[in-house]
Every structure is written in C-alpha cells, then in structure tokens.
Structure 1
Amino acid sequence: MSLSRRNFLKSATATSVAFAGLPALAGCARADGITQPWLNQVEGYGALVADPAGLFDLPEGFTYEVISTVGDAMTDGLVAPGDFDGMACFTRADGKWVLVRNHELTPDEIEKSAFGPDAAGLELIDRDKVHDWTDDGAPHLGGTTHLVVDPETLEVTEQYMSLAGTINNCAGGPTPWGSWITCEETEWQVGGDARVDHGYCFEVPADATGLVTPVPITGMGRFRHEAIAVDPASGCVYQTEDRRGLALFYRYIPDVPGELARGGRLQALAVRGQPGLDTRNWTGNSLPVGDWLEVEWVDLADVENPDNDLAERGHADGAAMFTRGEGLWWGENECYFACTDGGPERIGQIFRYQPSPFEGTDRESEQPGRLQLFVQSDDARVMEKCDNVCVAPWGDLIVVEDGDEDQYIRGVTPEGRVYTIGRNADADALGEKSEICGPCFSPDGSTLFFNIQRNPGRTFAVRGPWSERSL
C-alpha cells in the first residue's frame, strides 16, 4: 500500500468544523436536470450523471466496470459468496493487483454460500481449513476472497476463497507488511451452531494463493470488531467496535511488531481528565468539532470477553464512550474512524487520532496522543450514516454510506468540507438500496474499488480525472 494523506494537515493548529456549519453550494442538479437530494460544500467533481444502466451514478468523465458479482464462478471451482464488505488492494509480485474482500455472512445464509446451496463445493477444499461448523455439519459461511486484477484491463484473472468458516466478516484493514486483517463483527459464543467462540480478527496474506489456516488473534480481543488500522512507526493496531450505544476505541500493542498472533496488550482510549467521556453528542454538542483532547490508554483484562461485557468494563475504568465505530484507516501519521450514528441527529461523526511520538511506550505521558472530532453531520443531505472510509492519494478522506435512503460515496477535504462522488442507483424489488462498502484505491492511485453489498453484491472499479481534486 502506498497511500498517504499528503498535506492533510496544513498546520499543527488546523481544525475542522461541523458539516452543517459550512455554506452549501448551489447547483445540486444532475447533468440531465433532475434535482438531487444532497448538498455539496465544495465543488468536488461536479454534478452526477444518471447511469443509463441504472447501477451507479458518477460525475462526468468517470467510468466504472463491474469486476465481480455474487454467484460468479471462481477459479477455485467455488462461487463468489454474498454480502461483500470491507476490502483493500495490494500489488502482487508479478505487478497484478490483489483485492482481498470480506463477506459478512452468518451460517444460515446458505443461498449466498461459496460452496453452493447443497455444499457440493466442500469436496474441492481442505476441510481442515474451515474455521467452524454448525451442529449439523455445515460450514460457517463468512470469510474472505481474493481477486487478482489486471491493472491495464481491470480483468479479474483469478478469484478464489482465502479464509473460510468465520462469521460476519465486516471490515478490517491492510497492514504495512502486505496482509489483510479481517474482523468478525459478532459476539457469538460456543453453543447452538458454533463450536468455537467468534468475534476475533484473522490475518490473511495478500499473496495467499488459496485457503489459509484460520488463526484467531486472541490478544486483539473478542468483541464486535469492525475495522483496524496499523501505525507503521510504532506497530500499534487501532480497532473500532460496531456496538450500539456503548463502544470503545481500542489499541493493541503487539509484543513483536508485525507478528500480531504472538500476543500483546489490549487497551481502550480515555480522555485525560475526563474519565468515561461521552463523545456521542446525542444530547447536544458537548464535544465540540475541531477541538483537540489529550488521551491516555486504559489496560483491559479478560480480553477474550467471556461475559460479552468488555466495553462496559473498560468504560467503568474510564475509557471514553463512542457509538457504532465503523470504518478506520491510517493516513499520514494519524488515523480516522467513523461512528455511524454519532451526533445530535445520529447520522454520523468522524474522529481522527494522532499518536504520541512515544506511542505505546513508557514515555507516552510526556507527549500524549490526541483525539479530535473531525466532522459531524447534522444534515442527511450532506452525509448520512458514514461507514467504511479510506484515504485518497490526493489527501482527502473517502467515505461511503449505510443510510436509510440513497447511499452515496462522499469526499471530505482537509478542511472538513464534503462533496459527493457517486450514488448507488440500483434498488431491489422493494425500492431498497444496499449499502456501499470497502472503498480502497489501487496502489498507483488510478482506480477506486468499492462494493455494493447486496441486490446482488457487486465489486466496482472506477476510473476518471481524480487529479482534479489534487491539493
């Protein structure tokens, strides 16, 4: 990965303001004259053009390819499983790109199984590499797939299952050493249709050529994992928790940087001098947008969470309270994470965390890390239910939505202003539009990949004049 948020911080004192506090631009009409229900706060890439195919609207000059669809025959003999979610892109040794993609599936979603509804595909794999099975001998259906993409033509030359038998693989994140950490968003424990506890992270190398042996990274904790981001300087791994009402923001300090499964220390973020701070702003803007807060970290015990109360215990010890932590991505010496239902309107917040120069060491208190509420949406037309995020090569934050109405891809400038990049134009028979997931750029910055999760699930590749937004 070679993405960085170049020039994201224009100065050490740069701050942002809430979306609603910025002047909205006029001209919220499509090129065909249809009024659009959104507000851009900067010009962005211009108005969206209605897609003749009815799949995805983009600005003029941008084009997409659908490179994978649920049910496609894969090169390993299986079929592309359903519920596409988090994703990242890597460069393979031969120059081809590798997308590692999550599948947010539970054991009962047989119709979306990579093995087919009759599980015939199990004959094609090593059953010892399936992490868990139901009581009646059916495999758990979450996991990851690899897509090998030709950078010139965007043709998928290989597609295969790379992790099998997990549950609800929602998001995750890339590592600096060339792997994908996939996260189970669940607290499902042994019993019923589970033979092992779930709610762990798993590492999948980008250069895997087939199914890997599933190894839960127990030191990173067991909870409703959403996403991770790795600080390449310290080796610390940050984690979000998609839990309604009370969620924490976590840090894992591995005993050996880059070797996460060998153990480490799990902590939760707390704000200095404000133990248990409620950052959600559900009852008003008690946490102002743009202010910086010094932080400290609370050590957590019993991180495998036998009573599913890790967040409650951490909060009781002083950890800050977040809500529905979702997308998380590393930028230039800082990370950004979304809280989907934060803010007075409960339609989304984005935080950023800047680590200490002594992150994860005994000297950390000399110059603590700091937290900022970077943006907060008070108007669904600007942004509704921010979810997965990534950092664009030109320095902006790319945010996809999981809202109640239309689903958009948004860009956020270094000053915290939002603009619209695309819209899911496809609806199911009931008029519902599926969430957008897994945004990530190709290593050369030319192509934005993302998923539409359902109806059916599709993976898109978008190219266009990205340089028009260069800083």
Structure 2
Amino acid sequence: MPSRRTFLGTTGLAFLGLQNYATARTETRLIAPFGPLLADPAKILDLPEGFSYRVLATRGEPMSDGYKVPGAPDGMAAFPGPDGKVVLVCNHELGLAQTAMGPFTDNTRLPDGFDPALAYNPGTEGRNPALGGTTNLVFDPATGTKTAHFLSLFGTDRNCAGGKVGDTWITCEEPDDMLTTRGKLHGWCYAVHATSTPGLQQPAPLKALGRFRHEAVALDPKTGILYLTEDRDDGLLYRFLPETRGDFTKGKLQALAVINRPSCHLRNFHATTNWPVPGQPFQVTWIDLDDIEAPKDDLRVRGHEADAAAFPRSEGIHLADGAFYICCTNGGPHKLGQIFRLDPSGDPAKPDTLQLFLQPEASDLLTNGDNLCPAPWGGIVICEDLVAEPKPGEKKPAAHVRCVTPQGKIITLARNPADGEFAGCCFSPDGKWFFVNLQTRGLTLAVTGPWDKAIA
C-alpha cells in the first residue's frame, strides 16, 4: 500500500491517504473503475453497468412476525448467519410523533397481546409508545432474497446508527427531546443480537455508555475500548474503557481533548483560525467524565468546560486500515463535512493521534458524509446525507455513495435519483453484496456486481 499522501483538487477537496505521514501533494483523482453511473428506469438507484440491486424491504410491507416494516431505516450491519445466510440488523430512526411509519396498524398504542416488558418505553397515559427500534432481516446470498424479517428491538427513540461488536449490534438513540421524560428518559445505547430467529429482544439500556444524543460506536479489537460519537454541532468524541473486556455495563467514560488546545472546536473556521490543517497530525488525550447519565442533557457542555474538544456533528465512525475514521456532517468552513482519522496509541495511558483526514470545501466530490464502512478492496465507503442547502436558484444535488481508496482516489458507487440520504452502508461477510438504505423512501437494498474491478 502506498505511503500517506495529500491530494488537493481544483475543486477544493483535501484528501489524505490511508497510511504514514508523508507530505507530498498532488491533484485529487476521480476514477471510475466500474464505469459511469446509468440512470435507473425505476428511479430507485443509479449504478454502473454490470451492477444490479434488489429491494429487500419497503416501509409498510408485512414482515414475518406480522408487523409492518418500520420507516426511516438508518444505521445497519451485516453478520454471518446460519447455513450461509446473512443477518442484517437495521436501525429505524423513528421519533415519538412519526406514527404513520411505525410497525403497527395503530401506532398510538401497543397492539393487543404485545408484552409491554418488550418495549423499553411502552407509552404512558395519553402518550403513544416510543416507535424506534431495530429489525433483523435474514438474506440468502445464493438467491439474492430475504428469508425472514422481524422486529428485534422496540420502544426506543430515533435509533440512528450504532456499531458492530462481535455478533452483536449496538444501537444508539438520538432523541430530539432529551429533557422530557415521556415516562422514561431516552438517549441510551442497547445491545441487539444478530439472531435469525424471529422474536423481540429485551431492551436494556447500557447506561455506562452515557446519556447523550448518540450516533455511532466502533470497537478497537486490540484494546477492547469502545469509541462513541455524538450528533450535535458541539458534540464530543467519547471512549469507554470497560472494567471487563466485552462488558459494556461497567467501566469509565471519557472524552477526547487536544493537547495544548483546551476546549477547542474542530470545525475549522478558516476565517478565524485556519485550524486544524488537513494532514497535520496532533496529539490528543482523554479526560474522565462524571454524572454520565446527565438528566439535564449537559454531558457535552461539562466535558467541553473541562477541556474536551467539540466536533461538528460527528456521525459515522468505523475502524479501517488500523485507524478510526469519523464523519462530521457539518464540519468545515462551508459546512460540507469533514472526516477525521484517529490513530490509537495502543496504550490507554498514552496520547493518541488525530488528524483532519478529508475536508470538502467547494466540491461535489463528497458532501456531508454520514454513515461509513470499510470497503472489501481497502479504503472507506461513505454515505452522503446532503444536509447543506443549495445556493439560491440551484437545484439540490443527488446524494451519492462514494469510496475513498487506499491510493487516495475517489470512486462513485451509486446515486439516489430522488431526494433523501443514504444510510446503513455495509458489505456481506464475503464482500460480494453491498447493502444500503434509502432513508426517506424507506427502502433497504442489496447491490451486487463486479466489485473486483476496484482492484484490477
């Protein structure tokens, strides 16, 4: 793999390769190993020639357990299942008021016969149950079809992203309202097993991971440390050190702080600071946090006052090529997004290294990155959210799925011809199927094709 490089394109996209800390600069390179995108006659997903997609799930259709597919599919992961099957565990980012997209015929109450103990928040007098949660979808890669689909977690609030930890998906709540109890406080993480057997799992909040507007998590398999993002304009980057490896019910929650820059903000307001500089590594440490259940929704505020760094809407986080990549959807001077790279030292007591890895500035190459995942051929695959509003008179661009390769090249994998973000990108364990959600349209898709062209 080549040494780390910085690519500065004429469009203003700064890209830093995936290794070492070399300082060579060259022009951003767009490549199309799969060929150009072709318009989909069904207007669902534009793909290169030779690729095809299957619609695995559509909001509102019946599932195996008799419930309906919930809307707003978001973060997702693929797990190996029995008999060569793949189990997809998918979040549904549904808030309390989104009763038109819940899993029941009448989402203002639990259906008859539903055990309230299987809903984290079953609702209180005059309030409907919390409608967020997860579904498990069993996919047969040999036939390209699903064999089962069912609710696996229910009664949580706006399950946005999460992370794969062994054979378990940790799903994260991102409530709109962190202060109203609505019977129970929300803002937790929950463990969901990637089972292929239909049935709801007992919702148990992992309160040791803190209460805030969670977005995603990623595990360092070398140390057992869990990293967590927070989807706020002034959110923090957290890590959890478990007392016992693999047990996320007891341990220490910390927040990242930049050495010699206490309480800094990492958005990179060029007009005032011109920092952080793309490609320039800097050392970071971690500070202990207290009162982590934060009923006042002030964990990030107290952490920032105690020297922690603020990140501009940190969303997806994933381990790839030995480092953690973090998408900050609103980062950069034009709020087009940033991606940071965190290189752990391997010793929780020693400083880690952070760098601004990629920052689009006046570019249509990558805009408002959100969920991300490793690519089977190396590098990272990024879902675009497109939260930035277009300039007056300009049409809002279509969202894409992009790949940044280990060689510092950008590939466009797919385009959404309709409005709405991509979410939940992940590959099957054998790398032959790519799964992704169209959140606004409530679709889960499976894509296959000649992926090996990426490394040809």
When normalised by structure 1's length, the TM-score is 0.87
| Counterpart amino acid of residue 376 in structure 1 | Q
2:185 is matched with 197
Q: What stretches of structure 2 of length at least 5 have no aligned partner?
A: 16-27, 390-395
Paired residues of 1:44 and 1:420 also in contact (CA < 8 A): no
2:383 is matched with 400
2:6 is matched with 16
Q: Aligned partners of 1:297 and 1:142: how far apart in 2?
A: 32
| Counterpart amino acid of residue 147 in structure 2 | T
Match of 2:268 among 281, 284, 287: 281
Q: What stretches of structure 1 of length at least 5 have no aligned partner?
A: 1-6, 25-38, 427-432
Paired residues of 1:327 and 1:338 also in contact (CA < 8 A): yes
Give CA deviations for 1:177-224 in whole Å, capped at 9, x if unaligned: 2100000012635646x1111101001011263111111111111011
Q: Aligned partners of 1:190 and 1:226: how far apart in 2?
A: 18
1:412 is matched with 404
Paired residues of 1:384 and 1:401 also in contact (CA < 8 A): yes
Paired residues of 2:13 and 2:359 also in contact (CA < 8 A): no
Q: Do structure 1's residue 385 and structure 2's residue 368 form an aligned pair?
A: yes
2:452 is matched with 467
Paired residues of 1:268 and 1:314 also in contact (CA < 8 A): yes
- Tell me the SS of whatever aligns to 1:459: strand
1:373 is matched with 356
1:234 is matched with 223
Paired residues of 2:179 and 2:296 also in contact (CA < 8 A): no
Q: Aligned partners of 1:418 and 1:282: how far apart in 2?
A: 25
- Tell me the SS of whatever aligns to 1:315: helix
1:294 is matched with 283
Alignment CA distance shift 1:40-1:70 (3 Å): farther
Alignment CA distance shift 1:58-1:104 (3 Å): same
Residue 282 of structure 1 and its aligned partner are, at CA, apart by: 2.5
Paired residues of 1:22 and 1:417 also in contact (CA < 8 A): no
1:34 is matched with none
Paired residues of 1:375 and 1:416 also in contact (CA < 8 A): no
More deviation, 43-52/80-89: 43-52
Q: Aligned partners of 1:127 and 1:391: how far apart in 2?
A: 38
Residue 309 of structure 1 and its aligned partner are, at CA, apart by: 1.4
2:433 is matched with 447
Residue 312 of structure 1 and its aligned partner are, at CA, apart by: 1.5
2:89 is matched with 100
Q: Do structure 1's residue 247 and structure 2's residue 235 form an aligned pair?
A: yes
Q: Aligned partners of 1:241 and 1:168: how far apart in 2?
A: 13
Q: Aligned partners of 1:40 and 1:156: how far apart in 2?
A: 38
| Counterpart amino acid of residue 235 in structure 1 | G
Q: Aligned partners of 2:74 and 2:264: how far apart in 1?
A: 31
Give CA deviations for 1:359-411 in whole Å, capped at 9, x if unaligned: x2xxx32xx21111110001341111111111111112101111142111111
Q: Aligned partners of 1:232 and 1:18: how far apart in 2?
A: 33
- Tell me the SS of whatever aligns to 1:123: coil
Q: How do residues 50-449 of structure 1 correspond to structure 2 at under 5 angstroms?
A: 50-117=39-106, 122-123=111-112, 125-132=114-121, 133-136=123-126, 138-175=128-165, 177-186=166-175, 188-189=177-178, 191=180, 194-207=182-195, 209=197, 210-244=199-233, 246-261=234-249, 263-284=250-271, 285-358=274-347, 360=348, 364-365=349-350, 368-403=351-386, 404=389, 405=396, 406-426=398-418, 433-449=419-435
Paired residues of 1:55 and 1:424 also in contact (CA < 8 A): yes
Paired residues of 2:321 and 2:379 also in contact (CA < 8 A): no
When normalised by structure 2's length, the TM-score is 0.90
Residue 240 of structure 1 and its aligned partner are, at CA, apart by: 0.8
Residue 73 of structure 1 and its aligned partner are, at CA, apart by: 0.5
Residue 425 of structure 1 and its aligned partner are, at CA, apart by: 1.1
